[in-house]
């Protein structure tokens, strides 16, 4: 038997909370239909592409005093994409709900992400299996992967595997892309009379799978609290030694929600927000100006230290960089399989790429340090995009600011010291023990997913709302996946995709930063959130993120 840590032992005993409507199990539920829906944009195109699943109503559940019986069902579950704290609890909630409805029901877990359903690699869960993973972080219960489920051949294979196991419903736990694929699979199954339902669950630490209906994706709460703990610790260190500037890049892919939330929890001296950089068309040079200015002013005040938080996706939002990277993505799509390019030396690769980029973009590329040029040539993700987690923007900024300060020194405009440390926080937060919020939210999402299945729904995203209130008052239901879709360009073609939510510059969360950042830049207002607490006063253990509170709370004054 594997040895467990004391926290693991205690967390396994935690009983996650459910919305009141789900507390009597899925056999005591009434389905309440809202009105018919339409996609967020491009209604005609999305309707044509999803002829069988488009326009369905939103639904919510109400608990009833009567109890019905439910047919035996076999369900398959897939973890898709990057890890996010709470994934195990989605599966535990799904399992408990399905067994509560009918003990003869079976839950299969497909191994290694979406490829598991295509290749027929699976496990069947039982109590002992599930119990070992309750309230733990990670996706290691069945593993995850980034295979995209989108081709006719993959759908055919998935159908054959489901038929062989008697599976009549599949739950896909994923982000915007995985849930786009869930919508495609749902539509394909209906069109082909497969008799298999598909339900999605909103996962991603990035917090960019949210909209009017989905208040937040799971994992954001725990991941941001983990990064905030680390930033707080570094702030104490910086404030103690008073000799380093710490440049901290925070994961989150394109959107800056994670960096913004971590910044609101810790109040660092500088926080860059990619969406603002893009909106203000800030060049790399103007970002360096902005940061250097703060560094010089602090130094003049006797503070040769500070904290700068940088969102992972920043580089793509700097106009000249974004244009160069998009040009480079197209070029790399053809060069990646070109053996002479693959075997070329680094400097040869730089020359080949520069000769293929437009002259403006070639100049931008050529101006970058070799380290960044090399990282920009690394493998693309399955969508053909550069993997921003592999680009060390924090080091690029340090290098450019150092050069700018040397220049100022030579002109007699700076006499202080600048010594920098770089950090990248991402993987540290994706598999943390889920906070109480994520443990409860995920368990509810999974439990609710089976309620949607039990009512015969397909092409829906499991939805649990009213999240700033106690779990009892959460509202469980479902949102048609097509409702969140629009048409976007992918690999040069227009495709139906779930719309990604970026930071809204007119929203209350960004405004909170905007109103305070001048003060935070010069006066050290550091906050030290400390580690996530699982046991203790509710005011510490059950708080949600500032983002969720500002976006959803009616009593903003208290946030």
Residues marked active site are found at 206
CB of 388 to ligand FBP, least distance (A): 6
CA distance 485 to 34: 19
CB of 267 to ligand FBP, least distance (A): 23
Nearest to 452 by CA among 483, 481, 473: 481
109 vs 113, which CB is nearer to ligand FBP? 113
Q: Is 145 in the site for ligand FBP (CB under 6 A)?
A: no
Bridge partner list, 108: 76, 124
Applying CB under 6 A, which part among 5-13, 249-257, 432-440, 483-491 lies near ligand FBP?
249-257
DSSP string for residues in 194-206: ---EEEEEEB-TT
Nearest to 386 by CA among 418, 414, 353: 353
CA distance 137 to 557: 33
Q: Is 205 in the site for ligand FBP (CB under 6 A)?
A: yes
CB of 204 to ligand FBP, least distance (A): 3
Give the start-end residues of each E strand in 413-559. 420-425, 460-465, 475-480, 485-490, 493-498
**What DSSP state is assigned to residue 218?**
B
Is residue 391 within 8 A of residue 318, CB to CB? The reply is: no
Contact characters 56-95, ligand FBP, x per CB under 6 A: -------------------------xx-x-----------
Q: Which of 253, 373, 395, 517 binds ligand FBP (CB under 6 A)?
A: 253
29 vs 396, which CB is nearer to ligand FBP? 396
197 vs 217, which CB is nearer to ligand FBP? 217
167 vs 315, which CB is nearer to ligand FBP? 315
- CB neighbourhood size of 353 (10 A): 22
Longest dimension (CA), the chain: 82
Count residues contacting ligand FBP (CB under 6 A)? 14
CA 290 to centroid of chain Cα atoms: 28
Q: Is 206 in the site for ligand FBP (CB under 6 A)?
A: yes
CB of 313 to ligand FBP, least distance (A): 8
Q: Is 389 in the site for ligand FBP (CB under 6 A)?
A: yes
Is residue 434 within 8 A of residue 256, CB to CB? The reply is: no
Q: Which residues of 87-110 are buried (b: 16+ CB within 10 A; e: fewer)?
A: bbbbbbbbbbbbbbbbeebbbbbb
CB of 285 to ligand FBP, least distance (A): 26
168 vs 265, which CB is nearer to ligand FBP? 265
226 vs 389, which CB is nearer to ligand FBP? 389
**What DSSP state is assigned to residue 384?**
S
Applying CB under 6 A, which part among 50-58, 71-79, 200-208, 260-268 lies near ligand FBP?
200-208
CB of 177 to ligand FBP, least distance (A): 7
- Please give the structure tokens belonging to residue 4: 């467990």
CA angle 382, 347, 318 (to 5 degrees): 55
Separation in Å, CA 333 to CA 231, 374, 381: 37, 16, 11
Applying CB under 6 A, which part among 153-161, 202-210, 483-491, 521-529 lies near ligand FBP?
202-210
DSSP string for residues in 534-546: SSS-HHHHS---H
Applying CB under 6 A, which part among 92-100, 246-254, 459-467, 550-558 lies near ligand FBP?
246-254
**Under rule CB under 6 A, which residues in 395-434 are in contact with ligand FBP?**
430
CB of 374 to ligand FBP, least distance (A): 17
Q: Is 96 in the site for ligand FBP (CB under 6 A)?
A: no
Q: Which of 312, 316, 394, 438 binds ligand FBP (CB under 6 A)?
A: 312
Residues 6+ apart with CB under 8 A from 356: 331, 335
Q: Which of 78, 149, 184, 251 binds ligand FBP (CB under 6 A)?
A: 251
Helix 508-522 crosses helix 284-300 at what angle (to 10 degrees)? 40
CB of 412 to ligand FBP, least distance (A): 42
CA distance 219 to 203: 7
* Backbone angles phi and psi of 307, in degrees to 5: -130, 130
Applying CB under 6 A, which part among 70-78, 186-194, 199-207, 329-337 lies near ligand FBP?
199-207
CB of 107 to ligand FBP, least distance (A): 23
29 vs 141, which CB is nearer to ligand FBP? 141
Q: Which of 109, 114, 252, 446 binds ligand FBP (CB under 6 A)?
A: 252
* Backbone angles phi and psi of 194, in degrees to 5: -75, -20
478 three-state secondary structure: strand
260 vs 388, which CB is nearer to ligand FBP? 388
253 vs 404, which CB is nearer to ligand FBP? 253
CA distance 336 to 382: 13
Residues interacting with ligand FBP, by CB under 6 A? 81-82, 84, 175, 204-206, 251-253, 312, 388-389, 430
């Amino acid at each position: 038997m594997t040895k467990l840590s004391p926290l693991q032992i205690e967390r396994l005993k935690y009983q996650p909370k459910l919305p009141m409507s789900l507390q009597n199990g899925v056999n005591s539920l009434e389905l309440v239909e809202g009105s018919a829906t339409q996609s967020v944009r491009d209604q005609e195109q999305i309707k044509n592409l999803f002829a069988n699943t488009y326009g369905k109503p939103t639904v919510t559940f109400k608990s009833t005093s009567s109890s019905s019986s439910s047919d035996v069902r076999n369900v398959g579950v897939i973890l898709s994409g990057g890890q996010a704290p709470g994934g195990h609890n989605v599966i535990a909630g799904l399992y408990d709900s399905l067994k509560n409805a009918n003990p003869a029901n079976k839950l299969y877990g497909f191994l290694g992400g979406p490829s598991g359903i295509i290749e027929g690699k699976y496990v069947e869960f039982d109590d002992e299996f599930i119990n070992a993973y309750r309230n733990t972080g990670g996706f290691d219960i069945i593993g995850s992967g980034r295979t995209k489920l989108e081709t006719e051949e993959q759908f055919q294979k998935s159908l054959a595997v489901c038929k062989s196991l008697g599976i009549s419903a599949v739950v896909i736990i994923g982000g915007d892309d995985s849930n786009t694929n869930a919508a495609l699979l749902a539509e394909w199954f209906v069109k082909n009379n497969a008799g298999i339902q598909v339900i999605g669950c909103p996962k991603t630490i990035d917090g960019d799978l949210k909209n009017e209906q989905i208040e937040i994706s799971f994992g954001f709460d725990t991941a941001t609290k983990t990064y905030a703990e680390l930033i707080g610790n570094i702030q104490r260190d910086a404030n103690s030694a008073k000799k380093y500037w710490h440049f901290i890049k925070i994961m989150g892919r394109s959107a800056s929600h994670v960096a913004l939330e971590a910044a609101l929890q810790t109040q660092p001296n500088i926080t860059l927000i990619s969406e603002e950089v893009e909106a203000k068309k800030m060049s790399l040079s103007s970002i360096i100006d902005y940061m250097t200015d703060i560094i010089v002013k602090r130094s003049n005040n006797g503070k040769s230290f500070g904290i700068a938080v940088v969102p992972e996706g920043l580089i793509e939002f700097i106009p000249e960089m974004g244009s160069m990277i998009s040009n480079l993505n197209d070029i790399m799509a053809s060069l990646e399989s070109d053996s002479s390019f693959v075997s070329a030396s680094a400097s040869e690769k730089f020359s080949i790429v520069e000769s293929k980029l437009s002259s403006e973009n070639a100049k931008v590329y050529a101006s970058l340090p070799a380290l960044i040029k090399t990282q920009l040539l690394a493998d693309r993700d399955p969508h053909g995009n550069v993997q921003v987690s592999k680009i060390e923007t924090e080091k690029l900024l340090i290098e450019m600011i150092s050069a700018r300060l040397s220049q100022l020194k030579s002109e007699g405009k700076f006499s202080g010291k600048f010594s920098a440390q770089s950090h990248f926080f991402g993987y540290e937060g994706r598999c943390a023990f889920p906070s109480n919020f994520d443990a409860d939210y995920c368990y509810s999402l999974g439990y609710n997913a089976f309620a949607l299945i039990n009512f015969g729904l397909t092409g829906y995203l499991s939805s649990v709302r009213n999240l700033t209130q106690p779990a009892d008052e959460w509202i469980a239901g479902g949102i048609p996946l097509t409702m969140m879709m629009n048409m976007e360009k992918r690999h040069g073609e227009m495709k139906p995709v779930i719309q990604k939510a970026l930071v809204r510059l007119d929203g209350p969360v960004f405004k909170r930063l905007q109103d305070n950042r001048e003060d935070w830049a010069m006066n050290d207002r550091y906050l030290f959130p400390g580690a996530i607490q699982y046991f203790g006063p509710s005011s510490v253990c059950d708080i949600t993120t500032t983002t969720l509170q500002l976006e959803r709370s009616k009593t903003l004054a208290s946030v």
